[in-house]
Amino acid sequence: MRIGVPAEIKNNEHRVGLTPESVYELCSAGLSVNIQSQAGSAIGFTDQDYQQSGATILSSASDVYESSDLIVKVKEPLPEEFKFLSPDKTLFTYLHLAGNKSQAVELMNTGVTGIAYETVTSSDGSLPLLAPMSKIAGQISVVVGQYFLLKPNGGIGTILGLVENIERRVVTVIGAGVAGTEAIKKAIANDAHLKILDLSQKRLDELKEQFGTNNIEYILSDSSSISSALEASDLVIGSVYVLGKEAPKVITEEMIKKMKPGSVLVDISIDQGGCIESSKPTTHDAPVFNKHGVVHYCVTNMPGAVPLTATLALNNATLPYVKALATQGVDEALKNDSHLFNGLNIKNGEVVNPAVKEALES
């Protein structure tokens, strides 16, 4: 099977589907890999590195798609990439279809087989291909949150760290899974007062065990607890996820109107449609907008800000699956691994993942 890696074209997206090291491993297993010229150059992976690993360098995206059966990417295809997709190809990447119905329809119309990283599961219930990027997005959320709290950047004008005997700043994290936990760690390191909200009492108990109760509140999430946490917060991070589904809108505009002017919302769940009613997707070029006096950060590819770290972490997670798909063949690999099968979102022009299908039909 021929594997193809086109360059990413989303705004400020410098991650790449395969590293030279991954290519070496795949080529050593007898597979052929086509890489678009310069696909990894922004993070120091030169065409020469890929060639030395055994890849063939092709000059354009259309050449890569044409000469490959399994396309390994990072982000969902953009409209200008749909023309390269066809029923004889398999696309292995983040798709986030539940939050983007028109994207789902366009992809179905191409007939491509689409396997989405974010719905691949593992036996312990975790999401092995979403987790590495969620970790990074969670860490970035506090960094950008702090940046936009600064007055020259539109924020209320405060720093999260302790200064003299001034009261701690309040950071609220809603959805304490992988991304939320990383945000919590960073916020603790910044000496913030934390309000952690989740739907799962079990998850809250686990976190209490891990982080203790010093300057941390653990709160069962519902609209009234979210609303009162928001009123007290300087920085709010939304990182809820329900497998395959569009993100629930846990923060309403009415709640935001009661927040302090200049406070900051980071909607990590924006790639699944966003968990904040007033969110709309933004880019690294123009990451924020102000609504109701509150700064909204809604970048859909946050790990794109750290493309080298993110590419290495993503490849560690995806490589075994790429290898399985390419060596066993797509149908056989999906049959042999029910967790990889959960990643199958689109086949023969139809959405086949039940959760994604339900989300798109609602």
Ligand X SMILES: NC(=O)c1ccc[n+]([C@@H]2O[C@H](COP(=O)([O-])OP(=O)(O)OC[C@H]3O[C@@H](n4cnc5c(N)ncnc54)[C@H](O)[C@@H]3O)[C@@H](O)[C@H]2O)c1
Rounded Cα distance, 117 and 297, in Å: 24
Considering the complex, state which of residue 53 and residue 134 has its C-beta at the smaller distance from ligand X. 134
Amino acid at 195: K
* Positions 252 through 271 that interact with ligand X (CB under 6 A): 268-271
Considering the complex, state which of residue 33 and residue 298 has its C-beta at the smaller distance from ligand X. 298
Does 246 help bind ligand X (rule: CB under 6 A)? Answer: no
Going by C-alpha positions, the residue among 350, 330, 335, 332 that lies closest to residue 111 is: 350
Does 301 help bind ligand X (rule: CB under 6 A)? Answer: yes
Tell me, by CB under 6 A, how many residues bind ligand X.
37
Q: What residues contact residue 310 under an 8 Å CB cut-off, 6+ apart?
A: 15, 132, 133, 136, 303, 304
Considering the complex, state which of residue 51 and residue 283 has its C-beta at the smaller distance from ligand X. 283
Give catalytic status of residue 88 as yes or no: no
Does 244 help bind ligand X (rule: CB under 6 A)? Answer: no
Q: What residues contact residue 258 under an 8 Å CB cut-off, 6+ apart?
A: 227, 230, 231
Which of 14, 96, 193, 296 is flagged as catalytic? 96
Contact window for ligand X (CB under 6 A) among 56-64, 78-86, 196-204, 254-262: 196-204
Residue closest to ligand X (Cβ): 177
- 316 and 328 Cβ atoms separated by less than 8 Å: no
Q: Are strands 90-93 and 70-72 parallel, antiparallel or unpaired?
A: parallel
CB atoms near residue 101 (< 10 Å): 14
Options 3, 236, 247, 360; binder of ligand X; rule CB under 6 A: 247
Does 241 help bind ligand X (rule: CB under 6 A)? Answer: yes
Considering the complex, state which of residue 96 and residue 193 has its C-beta at the smaller distance from ligand X. 96
What is the closest distance, in whole angstroms, from the C-beta atom of residue 178 to ligand X in the complex? Answer: 4
Does 242 help bind ligand X (rule: CB under 6 A)? Answer: yes
Considering the complex, state which of residue 108 and residue 305 has its C-beta at the smaller distance from ligand X. 305
Q: Are strands 264-267 and 294-297 parallel, antiparallel or unpaired?
A: parallel
Does 170 help bind ligand X (rule: CB under 6 A)? Answer: no
Options 100, 103, 110, 272; binder of ligand X; rule CB under 6 A: 272
What is the closest distance, in whole angstroms, from the C-beta atom of residue 208 to ligand X in the complex? Answer: 14
Options 40, 128, 155, 303; binder of ligand X; rule CB under 6 A: 303
Beta-bridged to residue 170, according to DSSP, are: 193
Rounded Cα distance, 245 and 107, in Å: 17
Does 192 help bind ligand X (rule: CB under 6 A)? Answer: no
Going by C-alpha positions, the residue among 191, 193, 211, 214 that lies closest to residue 203 is: 211
Give catalytic status of residue 14 as yes or no: no
Considering the complex, state which of residue 19 and residue 269 has its C-beta at the smaller distance from ligand X. 269
What is the closest distance, in whole angstroms, from the C-beta atom of residue 131 to ligand X in the complex? Answer: 6
User: Long-range contacts of range 60-67, CB-CB < 8 Å, 24 or more positions apart?
Assistant: 60/36, 61/6, 61/7, 61/9, 61/36, 63/34, 63/36, 64/4, 64/5, 64/6, 64/34, 64/35, 64/36, 65/4, 65/6, 65/89, 67/2, 67/4, 67/34
Dihedral (CA of 310, 312, 316, 321) sign: positive
What is the closest distance, in whole angstroms, from the C-beta atom of residue 210 to ligand X in the complex? Answer: 13
Query: Which sequence positions are flagged as catalytic?
Result: 96, 271
Task: Give the binding site for ligand X (CB under 6 A).
Answer: 118, 127, 130-131, 133-134, 137, 174-180, 197-200, 203, 221, 239-242, 247-248, 250, 268-272, 299-303
